[in-house]
Each structure stands twice: as structure tokens, then as C-alpha cells.
Amino acid sequence: MPRPSVIPTVKAALEDYLERMQVAFLAAPEDLRVPTLPATPDGKVNVRALAQAVDLKQTQEKYLYERQELTTLINLVAEGQGLMPIGSRLLVDAADKALKDRMARTAQSAKASAQAAVEAQSATAELLEKLRDVVLENESLKAQNMRFKAQLDMIHSGMMVGVQD
């Protein structure tokens, strides 16, 4: 029988730890908040220290890099605290990052109190509305791009097909 995977255990420990760190982060006054996750001097989340904090063996540390379900979880909290995520490839592009930062800032403003939660919710709603607009604009531009490319491909096959917009 195959050995049971250690990942679910690691994930559970990690979630508990991240929850504690996020609560501690939100508990501080907004203008005094500093990352509660361990960080490297250049502002990235410190995976080694994090592994130690959740009592991982040194040989298990690699899971935090390699297993997507663990990496995305850490990054979700790390980015909210203003830390660079694991693996810079995850930053798709500057626009995505800006959007994520804004969402992170909104999340940061959430207070434990009910009033703060309502405020945070309306801020998220507004942000989501903007996101929807941006997504539609993006889809529209992608379609335009597709139309131009179709015309260009046609020219390369010898035809010129004019399409009035």
C-alpha cells in the first residue's frame, strides 16, 4: 500500500499558522502594520523561516516551493502583507500586480469590528465592479486583436479583406 501523503498534514499546519499570522497582522493599527510572516531582507516571504515556524523537517521544505496548493496559499497571505511571493513568475504582469496590490490594500483596511467589515465589503464590491469593467474591456480588446490578426493572416495568404468596424 502506498504511504499516505504528508501534504494534507503540512497544509493543515500551514493554514493554522497563516490564520494566526493574518489575525496578528490585522490586529495592529492600520498605519503601524508590518508583515507578520517571516521575510527576507529584500522583502520576499522567507520560506525557510516559515518552514521552521510550522515545524517542517528540512527535507519537507521543498514542498512549500513545489506544491502549488501550498505555494498559492502562502502567497495569498504574503502578498496581502506587502511581501513578494514565492516564485516571481507568479507575478503575471505589472497590471495584475497593481490590481492585486489594490485588493490587498482594501483587505488590509478590514477591521475586526462589524463596522469595518461592512466598509471592507463595500470596498471589495466597488473593486469587483471595477474588475468586471476591466475584464470586459480586456475581452473586447482581445477580440479586436483577434480581428486584426485574422486580417493580417489573410494578407499573408495573399488576400486583403477590409472589415469596417
Partner 1 sequence: MSVLKDQFEDTVTVQRVVYQLDRGCIFAGELSDGRPIRVKFAGNDTHPLPGDTFHVRGLVDSYRDKFGKTVVQINSKHMHRVVTAGLLLKPWLERLPNIAGTRADRLIRAFGHDLQTVLNDVSRAHDVAKLIEPTKPALAAKITSQLYAAVAIQAGADQIRSAELEFLTFLETLGLQQSRIAGQLWRFMAGFDAVDRLKRNPYVPASLMDWKPADRIGQRLLRAAYEGADLQTHPARLVGALNSVWRDILSEGDTAATEATVKAQLEKRGVDPDTTIRLAEERGSLRRIGVLLRAPGAAWIEDQIVSALLAMESTQPTVPISAGQGLESLVYDAEMETGLTLTNEQHGAVALLLTLPVAALQGGAGVGKTTVMKVLATCWERLGGNVVMSALAGKAALTLSKGASTSARPRLAYTIARLIGMAQRQALQTENPAFKRPASDVDFTSTTLLVVDEAGMLDTPSLHKLLSFLPEGARLLFVGDEGQLPPVGIGKVFHDMVAEGSRVAKLTQVLRQAADSDIPKVSALVRDGKVPPLAAWSGQTKGVFVVPGAQIESVQRRLRGKTELMVIAARRATVEAINESESLEARNKTTPTRRLGPFATVAVGDPVVAAVNRYQDGLFNGLLGVVDSIASPEVSIKWDGEREPRSLPKEAEADIELAYGITCHRAQGSSSQAVVIVVEESRLVTREWIYTAITRSLELVILVADVETLTKGIERRTRRTTGFSLPARSPMGAAHIGQRP
Residue (29 or 158) nearer to partner 1, CB:
158
CB 70 within 8 A of CB 10: yes
Give min distance, CB of 57 to partner 1, in A: 24
Residues lying near partner 1 in the complex (CB under 8 A): 15-16, 18-19, 22-23, 26, 68-69, 72-73, 76-77, 80, 103, 107, 110, 117, 121, 124-125, 128, 131-132, 135-136, 138-140, 142-144, 146-147, 149-151, 154-165
Give min distance, CB of 129 to partner 1, in A: 9
**Segments in the chain forming alpha helices (H):** 7-27, 47-53, 61-66, 68-80, 94-108, 114-156
The CA-atom distances, in angstroms, between 109 and each of 56, 102, 141 are 32, 11, 33
Residue (98 or 161) nearer to partner 1, CB:
161
